[in-house]
Amino acid sequence: MASSAERAAIVVAATMGVIFAAHPAAAYTVYISNEKGNSITVLDSVTLEVKETIPVGQRPRGIILTNDDKYLLICASDEDAVQMLDVTSRELVGDLPSGPDPELLDLHPSGSPVYIANEDDNLLTVIDLADKKVVAEVEVGVEPEGVGASPDGKTVVVTSETTNMAHFIDTGSYEITDNVLVGSRPRFAEFTADGSRLWVTSEVAGVVTVIDAKTRKIIKTIGFAIPGVQPEHIQPVGVRITKDGAKAFVALGPANRVAVIDAKTLDVEEYLLVGQRVWQLAFTPDEALLFVTNGNSNDVSVIDVPNLKVVKSIPVGTAPWGVTVSQH
Amino acid sequence: MTSLFLLFAPLPGRAATEGGDEATRLPPAGEFATVPIGYLKQEVKRFIPLSRLNVEPEDLGIAGAEIALKDNNTTGRFTKQQFTLEVERVPAGGDAVQALETLVESGHHFVLVDAPAETLLRLSDAVKGKDVLLFNIRAPDVSLRQEDCRANVLHTAPDRAMLADALAQYLVWKKWPRWFVVKGVFPEDLAYLDALRRAAKRFGGTIVEEREYKETPGARRSDSGQLQIQRQMPVFTQGAPSYDVVVVADEKEVFGPYLPYRTWDPRPVAGTAGLTAMSWHPAHEQWGATQMQNRFQRFAKRFMLPLDYQAWVAVRAVGESASRAGSDFAPINAYLRGDEFGLAAFKGQKVTFRTWDGQLRQPIIVAGPDLPVSMSPQEGFLHERAEVDTLGIDEPESKCKFQ
């Protein structure tokens, strides 16, 4: 008789076989920022192996690829800069004038400008990627962190951790049009692909707030309860929603779980056990896999999205934080 | 760096959705509501500490309140609330009650009290029944949370029981359960000792001996002083039963800081010197604290200390409640004490006020001089509701009957 570990291995192998059979050509590159390792780990989405580790600036956290997949923009928080990594040559080719302590960033859907939250300075800095110049600085609440651009590019939302608000900013006038109070320490903002809703995670309150993007009213505040986990350990951080708007995945920090939520009914469906202190997550473009950074166990968990199974954990650098996946 | 608009200037564009949007709960466009906060500091004649590093800065606590005020007002730009801070300094022996009445008459319903326990009680009694809420940001006396508790006081300062419990949990977790206690002669030292004894009983520590330090060490900082101390301290700590750690109860810093590296047996020192429990440490950088430390240092040109943090929490607690409950006293006061309240305060979990005694429920940092060593509650000290309630006086043992 097979032991439970062996059975698990068989299940994993079978599951992965299904994935690869279904997506034979889908080889994407996955980038992980290692907050304490001061490096970027590069993974292959098919072999699920580390291809390379690239040293970068100090305390890299939020990362994003330019729309052409050529450059990785890295918030090097302790360098007070957003560094540009040429992913072909693997070399840092310059800094964006991001302002102090950049933490998270997002791109306008057209690829530029880039919106950067300056946690230490209560600012959103807007930078044009073509000439690398600051287009605008928008004064927001205390400790801005999460940044999310709407799919139509007309709105960018910034969450401020001490002010506890989601600030809606008009990308034409750079004026704040609405402020929505959410739970304590909002960390991340993500629009649904159709632009109808905004999801905001609140780390200290332990909730996710879903906001109607048009009326700017709260639709629902989603709470979490996991048997055997103290409520104060449930600290939502990253959130990703499938393009069809069916499922949302929320990283729950030291609860060591990713919550799976029906993004239409807004009910929590299940909790997937991952590594320790789970921060951020990113889909492959085909949404077959979800990569999840575990800050305290120095690894990345790989979730099989259709089957909602954690299929692998990959050791990376020290304190993995941000994650992004190439589009091609 | 140029900002797009000035502090307090009305927001360009639409600041509030018309007709009282529930999601944003913004007041009608145009006016800013004011929430005045008072800070009453009773000056106290203090011993000069042994280390000049530990001399209290002139603006201790006040700078913490001021930076929290800035945080509140940044948020207030969006909620159309303006917070103000009025500081009243009462000289040693001066009339604190009069100063409080002045603050209250000028509309300050929330007042931070930076004063010893006896002053706090007089202030509390003087405004009993009025719309006034006092924040005890300084006094660590357990009695203020027990038999002397008051309905109009919330405590952001941890009490000695919380501090002793936090330290004890770490020592027991570290498997250093045998404590050689060295105590001073002041009532504060004995009060801390009581808290240590209680903590030992609760968490499985053993006090192997209590030894009193009676004499005042000689030359203190003079040239020959160090040599003298170097000979005195080993002799003083000689002949103790087997123990793991020296635990000092010397709140006024008469001799405690002389013990590390000078004990007869090579043992670590904890308590009021060496490894110490506290609400805040200037090198605490977890859970976003780096930003708080940076912001404070840029503003005050010095490190952020526990009293600054305790004042920061009090002012932010008012701000957080006001952003959700409006600008009037009664709803803010109710919100602060209610289930909805939860402040993000760089401790990895929200901080809230205990309903049974008004004490801020918060994790406690256990730190050496340069760095935090740990944060209590420690793993394995379980509680039926919240692990953090293993620190300090829990509901079943509370003697507080609010009056």
Residue ranges making up the domain that contains B237: 161-277
Q: Give tens-digit pLDDT for B80-98.
A: 999 999 999 999 999 999 9
Angle CA(B74)–CA(B78)–CA(B79) in degrees, nearest 5? 105
Does residue B384 fall inside a structural domain?
A: no
Burial class (CB in 10 A: 0-12, 13-18, 19+), B93: exposed
A4 in B contact zone (CB under 8 Å): no
Tokens 């801020």 correspond to B360
Which amino acid belongs to residue A151? P
Q: Give tens-digit pLDDT for B232-287.
A: 899 999 999 999 999 999 998 889 999 999 999 999 999 999 999 999 999 999 99
Does residue B223 fall inside a structural domain?
A: yes
Average pLDDT over residues B205-217: 87
A120 in B contact zone (CB under 8 Å): yes
Same domain, B153 and B174: no
Does residue B25 fall inside a structural domain?
A: no
pLDDT at site B391: 97
Same domain, B290 and B148: yes
Interface test with A, best of B2, B24, B299, B383 (most A CBs within 10 A): B24
DSSP label of A136? E
At residue B133, the 3 state secondary structure works out as strand
Percent of chain B's residues with pLDDT above 90: 80
Cα(A4)–Cα(B145) distance, integer angstroms: 53
B113: CATH:
3.40.50.2300
Which amino acid belongs to residue B301? K
Same domain, B234 and B307: no
Cis peptide before B377 (omega within 30 of 0): yes
Cβ pair A177:B14 closer than 8 A? yes
Output the DSSP codes for B13-53.
S-SS-TTT-TTT-PPPSSPPEEEEEEEEEE----PPPSSGG
Q: Respond yes or no on whether ipTM tops 0.90.
A: no
Helix H segments across B247-347?
A: 289-300, 306-325, 329-337
Nearest alpha-carbon partner for A70 in A89, A53, A54: A89
Of B362, B377, B392, the position where a domain reaches its end is B362
Which amino acid belongs to residue A110? S
Are A196 and A212 within 8 A, CB to CB?
yes
Same domain, B242 and B214: yes
pLDDT at site A209: 98
Same domain, B48 and B144: yes
Same domain, B37 and B152: yes
Provide the strand spans (E) within B48-151.
81-90, 110-114, 133-136
Average pLDDT over residues B119-127: 98
Cα(B6)–Cα(B120) distance, integer angstroms: 38
Does residue B395 fall inside a structural domain?
A: no
Nearest alpha-carbon partner for B271 in B180, B347, B145, B361: B180
Does residue B11 fall inside a structural domain?
A: no
Are B118 and B141 within 8 A, CB to CB?
no
Same domain, B68 and B148: yes
Question: Smallest CA–CA separation between A206 and chain B, in Å?
Answer: 9
Q: Which helix (H) or strand (E) holds A262?
A: strand A257-262
Q: What average pLDDT is seen over chain B? A: 90
Cβ pair A161:B74 closer than 8 A? no
- Band of the pLDDT at B385, cuts 50, 70, 90? confident
Tens digit of each residue's pLDDT, chain A (328 residues): 444 555 545 455 445 544 444 444 479 999 999 999 999 999 999 999 999 999 999 999 999 999 999 999 999 988 889 999 999 999 999 999 988 889 999 999 999 999 999 887 889 999 999 999 999 999 999 999 999 999 999 999 999 999 999 999 999 999 999 999 999 999 999 999 999 999 999 999 999 999 999 999 999 999 999 998 988 899 999 999 999 999 999 999 999 999 999 999 999 999 999 999 999 999 999 999 999 999 999 999 999 999 999 999 999 999 999 999 999 8
Tokens 């090579």 correspond to B266
Question: Smallest CA–CA separation between B187 and chain A, in Å?
Answer: 37
Interface test with B, best of A179, A209, A230 (most B CBs within 10 A): A179
Q: Rounded to whole angstroms, what are the CA distances from B10 to A218, A239, B167? A: 24, 33, 48
Q: Is pLDDT at B26 greater than 70 in this prediction?
A: no
Angle of helix B306-325 relative to helix B289-300, nearest 10 degrees? 110
Burial class (CB in 10 A: 0-12, 13-18, 19+), A70: middle
Q: Is pLDDT at B180 greater than 90 in this prediction?
A: yes
Of B277, B304, B320, the position where a domain reaches its end is B277
Question: Smallest CA–CA separation between B350 and chain A, in Å?
Answer: 5
Lowest mean pLDDT among A294-298, B22-26, B272-276, B324-328: B22-26
Cβ pair A205:B24 closer than 8 A? no
Same domain, B150 and B39: yes
Cα(A181)–Cα(B324) distance, integer angstroms: 8
Does residue B250 fall inside a structural domain?
A: yes
Does residue B7 fall inside a structural domain?
A: no
Burial class (CB in 10 A: 0-12, 13-18, 19+), B166: buried
Tokens 């800013």 correspond to B32
Same domain, B140 and B41: yes
pLDDT at site B116: 97
Q: Is pLDDT at B21 greater than 70 in this prediction?
A: no
A223 in B contact zone (CB under 8 Å): no
Chain-centroid distance, C-alpha B370: 19
Q: What domain count does chain B have?
A: 2
At residue B379, the 3 state secondary structure works out as coil
Cα(B344)–Cα(B156) distance, integer angstroms: 14
Q: Which helix (H) or strand (E) holds A107?
A: strand A102-107
Nearest alpha-carbon partner for A40 in A293, A254, A251: A293
DSSP bridge partners of B36: B84
Same domain, B71 and B182: no
Of B253, B277, B301, the position where a domain reaches its end is B277
Interface test with A, best of B2, B8, B74, B293 (most A CBs within 10 A): B74
Cβ pair B4:A163 closer than 8 A? no
Cα(B299)–Cα(B259) distance, integer angstroms: 35
Does residue B273 fall inside a structural domain?
A: yes
Same domain, B200 and B299: no
Same domain, B187 and B235: yes
A23 in B contact zone (CB under 8 Å): no
A254's tokens: 């030291």
Average pLDDT over residues B319-337: 96
Cβ pair B349:A232 closer than 8 A? yes
